[in-house]
Structure 1
Amino acid sequence: MEQEIFEIISHGGDARGFAYDALKAAREKEIQKAVELLKRAQDELDLAHNTQTKLIQAELNGEDLKMSLLMVHAQDQLMTAIAEKNLIEQMVEMLKIIHNK
C-alpha cells in the first residue's frame, strides 16, 4: 500500500507542476503550450485517481487498509492538485480573452 500512496503523491505533484507551467505559458501568450500542459496535468491526475480507486476498491473488498498520516497527506495532495488545476484552467481561459483584445 505504501507504494500506491507514493504514486498518488508523485502524480499529484507532477500534475500541479504541469498546471503551473501552463499558467506561466499562458501569461507569456503561449496558449497552445498552456493547453498541452493542462492536458499533461490531467493525465497525471488520472493516474493518481486510478491508484486511489484501486485502494478504495481494496478496502471495499475487505482488505484492512490502515489510515496513516502518509495516506492523509496523499489525499490532501491529490485534492489540492485537482482544485489548483481546475482554477488554472479558468485562468488560462481568461488570459486567452485578455490576449485577444
Structure 2
Amino acid sequence: MDTEQSIFEIISSAGSARDLTYQAIDQISNGNIESAYDLIEDAEKAMNTAHNVQTKLIQKEIDGEKNEGGLLMIHAQDHLMTAIAEHQIAKRLLPIFEKLLR
C-alpha cells in the first residue's frame, strides 16, 4: 500500500470509528445497552485499524523513508485523534447511562 492509500485508510477507518461511536451513543440513549457496547467494540476495531496503518507510516519515516503526505496526512491525523478522543468519552459515559437506565 502506498503512502496516499495508507493515509486514506486512516481517514476512512477513523471516520468509521467516529460514526460507530455516535451510533453507540444513540443506542444507549434509546435504552439499547447491549447494542451500544457492541458498537463501541466495533468502533475500537476501526480505530485499531487506523492506528496500525499510522504506526506503519511512522515506522517507515523512522527508517528513513520520506513521507510525502503533507496536509492530507495532517487531515488523517486529525480524524484519528478526534475519533480516539470521542471514543474515550463515549466509553466512559456508557456505564453512567447504563446505571441511569436500570
Question: Which bracket does the TM-score occupy, shorter chain normalised?
Answer: over 0.9
Structure 1: 4+ residue segments shifted above 4 A: none
Q: Give the equivalent residue in structure 2 for 1:62.
A: 64
| TM-score, length of structure 2 as denominator length | 0.95
1:33 aligns with 2:32: no
Letter in 2 for 1:91: L
Percent identical pairs in the alignment equals 43
String of CA shifts for 1:16-45, please: whole Å, max 9, x gaps.
Answer: 000000000001110000000000000000
CA distance in 2, matches of 1:67, 1:18: 26
| TM-score, length of structure 1 as denominator length | 0.96
Deviates more, 1:84-93 or 1:1-10: 84-93
Structure 1 spans left out of the alignment, 5+ residues? none
* Number of matched pairs: 100
String of CA shifts for 1:61-87, please: whole Å, max 9, x gaps.
Answer: 110113511100000000000000111
